[in-house]
Each structure stands twice: as C-alpha cells, then as structure tokens.
A and B are shown apart, each in its own frame.
Chain A
C-alpha cells in the first residue's frame, strides 16, 4: 500500500489535534507515515501511534527547526522522492501552507489548500472538498499532477483512534544553503489561556463592536461552555483583543460545532471566517444586523444583559 506523508504539527512534542485529524484522513488514502521534525519526540510517539501512524520519519537536525519552513519543504521533498506517496497532508497553518507551496514547486505536484474533507478519488487519486467564496460555495477538486499535496482545515475531519506501530526511522536530509536563509531568532510562546485553541475548539464565543471593549461577559459565557474566545476585526482593530483571536477573512477561519457571535454585525469579512459553523447563535442590539440571517437562534438585545443571564443559566443546568 502506498504511504501517505503527514507533517506533524507540534509544540515540543505536544502533538496538536490537527495531526490526529490528518492521520485519520491519511488512513483513507494509504498507510499513514508521520513526519516529525524538531524536539520532543518521546512525548509525541504515543499519540502518533494511537492515531494510526504506521511509520514515523524523525528528523533530529536542530537546524531544521531554527530556520523557517524551507528546510521542512526540503525534508518533505526528499521523502516524496523516496516514497512516491499517495498524498502529502499538512495542516492549513501559515507554516503548513508555506511548506506546501514550496513543496509543490520542488516536486512538481498540484496543491489544494483548506480542504474540509479528503477522500480517495476515482482511479487512485485524491478528492477534496472545500468551502469557498465566504462559505457560499462547496467545491470538490482533485490533483492532476505529481503527488497530491493537501492542507487540511482544522476541526473538519473527526480524529479517530486507530492504534498502529509507529515504527521509527531517523533520517538525515542535507540542507541547502538556501534553506538556511530565514532564521527564527526569537520565539515567545503565548501564555496558555486555559481555554481551547480557537481553530480546534468545538465551541467558539466571539465578541465584536458591541462589547465596547469589555470582553468580560463574552469570556465568562465562553468559560461556562468550555469554549474558545474569538473577536471580530472591529474589536481587534480597536485594540480590545489580540489579532490571534480574530475570526474572519484576515484572521482565523473556524468551523466549530457551535459559534456564538455577541455584538457582531456579521459583515462579509467576518462571515467568511465562521459561516460553515454547524450551529450559529447571535446576540445583537440591532434587529437588522446581517448576522441574524445566518443564525439558528438569535436574541435581539444587549449582550451585557443577555450573556450574564445565559451564563448563570448554563452554570445552573450544569450543576
């Protein structure tokens, strides 16, 4: 059976949820082979085995993690040439897409980004599904040349446990001079907020202009549900919440089970980032706000009254 290369997304060996999702998708196409670059492998191995990695290629060279992306692309290109995989799956993160872009040119292979589903195509290829034009269209696509490279949107393919052997192989890939041209000189990890990661969360509660800068009610409601907190572009531009929390065309695109928009009008820029959420709820003072066209449930009212009441009610029900 052909291998499917999966780039492991991790922080010092803590494997991110997206990797489990990629391994599950990989199993549909061939035999999953994880590609682990960086430190902390011992912490990662168990998770990779649990989610179906038959093999793990390890790259220990620290130069690869110190330099931005180009080395990762060279490692993957080396493996593509060696294994002629059925596909290469990467997360749809900035690094994932950069590596995928460079890899596509190196291996002369087609590239599809932001896939929300990945299935075997007719005659052995790979077929993907994407949600485009601010979620208004669903398209299916396939790669017609080379080893299909696909970046997969987080939270789209449910991860499934499928214990496998995760047989290790350490590989050394000589890096070109060119691969060392962009160096990471400083990395500041963000303090863990205690909340789930925005792109991985099952529930997201976002605040917008209507919060007037006070995200307290939004955060408390989010915490009562165990949700991640997002923000509209207006709120981020006003400096009320960090850009990493921005949901929308120029921020993060999320597709959780439940999306709650509080004090957000629902302009296209925002909708592009959350329109494919399974259930959508909104609270807004303005009954004409465009967001209400998208909702499964909406409350016309002041979030400063509605959210605290809802938070209390949720806490009571949870006991």
Chain B
C-alpha cells in the first residue's frame, strides 16, 4: 500500500516548555524530537506493509529546519522516503493552516491508500488535524484507533471510549490516527540507521504546493491566543510518613476538606 505518515517535530514534552512573546510555542529553548505519539503511526505503517503486499511508506512533516530530524528518525525506523515542507511563512500556523499544507502535500504525492497520524501532537494536543485533513481530502477518518487491519481495500479499526468499544470499517483511502495501544514502535537498528542515509528526502516550499503565504502563518490563524500565564507552582502541602497511622491521617485530611 502507498501509505503517508504525518509526523511532527515538537519540543520535548519532558522539558519546561514555554511561549514566545507573540504567544506561539517556543521551539528554540527546548530540544526538539519526533513526537513520541507519531512513532506509533510510523510503526503501524511499516507493520501493515510488512504483513501485506509491500508498498511504500512516505513520512511527511512541516516545520522549521530542525524538523528534518523527525523525518530522519522515521526513515531510520524503516520508512522509504521523506518529505519536509519548509517555509518561513508557515511559522505560527494554527491547526486549520497545518491541515491545508499537509493536505496539499499529500495531493502532490499522488494516489495514496492510507494516511496515518498519531492521536495528537504532544505540544498542541488538539487531535483535530486528522479530521481536518480528511475533510480537505474528501476522505473518511477514524481517530484513536487501538487496532488497525486492512483487507480488500477496507480498513477495519477498533476504538475504545469510556462507555463502549466500537469497530469501524472505512473504505480506503482513509485517514486514521492511532493510539499508543496499537503497537510497540521498533528501535532503529544499526542497519536501519545506515540505510536511512541513502533514502530520498524532498524539501518543498509553499510555492511547490500552490499555497499562498497569506493562507498560513500566525496572521492567517482563525484563532488567537490572547493571554498566556504561567500557573504558579502548587505549594507543596503536608507529607507525612506512615508509621502505623498514615491511613488515618489521610482520612482526617479528606475530612478536613469535606470529602468525607
């Protein structure tokens, strides 16, 4: 199958992330990496083609120059080729504009069977780009997939909510986002790391996609972040050591706060 995996280069979620004065995410102060949740999407793509009739996995990203590292990691895992949309005008884009750029890039790549993404980026955490992509490409979408199989041109997906477990069938081509329950992403092998050096990576600007700069970037956004305030760190409360009365102390605290 021809599979495109959309990945994002994000500030490390384990570090202290912060904002720029213009209220965009600060992408300089903290080290970036391939968003952890996107690894599951890359793995799912690789596994599908290994189990099936082969095919090609293209990894697609949009972002500043450093975002090339996200493409590289996916190629090291086993993706066949990469595309990096790089253009200064993109900085500060909202989800709507991101979905436009990604959709145009996918159209430019030619006929695709499946578009895979992670369940959310670890910075914006919106989970809406897959649905927006699907809408722009005129495709069905299923998000939060915990199981994904493909047979005879149909994707079969299981997803779980807190009230039910649903099985959904979508005719390909489709957009699917996957959760971290779907697989165990492989570590790049030494062989994979060496092979990645020879894999083709194309860099495209907005002009290559036929996207006007006025449609993307901070000024084009359909939402605006008005204020940004760091939450004061929670003042550490009382911590006691259990010496036989710990449970009682806990119950007493809860009672003092009217939970009991």
Interface residues of A (CB under 8 A from B): 11, 68-70, 73, 93-94, 97-102, 104-106, 108-114, 127, 131-146, 178, 181-190, 197-199, 203, 225, 242-244, 249-250, 252, 257-258, 268-269, 272, 279-281, 283, 287, 292-302, 305-314, 317-318
Contact = CB atoms under 8 A, between A and B. Distances in A.
Contact of B13 (A11, A73, A134, A140): A134
B230 to A, nearest CB: 6
B129 to A, nearest CB: 7
A102 to B, nearest CB: 4
Given A97-B131, A299-B249, A197 B162 contact: yes
Contact of A135 (B129, B179, B226, B231): B231
Interface stretch (B186-194, B204-212, B239-247): B239-247
A157 B67 CA distance: 38
B254 interface: yes
Contacts of A252: 162
Nearest to A236: B181
Contacts of B19: 137
Given A127-B226, A317-B260, A306 B250 contact: yes
B217 to A, nearest CB: 14
A189 B165 CA distance: 6
Contacts, number: 274
Interface in B118-150: 119, 122-123, 125-132, 134-136, 138-144, 146
Contacts of A105: 96, 99, 132, 135-136
B203 interface: no
Contacts of A94: 127, 143-144, 159, 161
A281 B140 contact: no
Contact of B224 (A11, A69, A142): A142
B140 to A, nearest CB: 4
Contacts of A280: 234
Contacts of A225: 254, 259-260
Contacts of A93: 161
A184 B131 contact: no
**Do most interface residues of chain B lie in helix, strand or loop, or is the interface mixed?**
mixed
Contact of B163 (A11, A203, A268): A11
A203 B248 contact: no
Given A104-B96, A110-B223, A281 B132 contact: no
A184 B223 contact: no
A317 to B, nearest CB: 5
Nearest to B12: A268
Contacts of B167: 184-187
Most chain A Cβ neighbours within 10 Å, of B16, B224, B230, B254: B254
Contacts of A310: 246-248, 250-251, 254
A141 B223 contact: yes
Nearest to B230: A137
B95 interface: yes
Nearest to B95: A111
A279 B257 contact: yes
B221 interface: yes
A60 B221 CA distance: 36
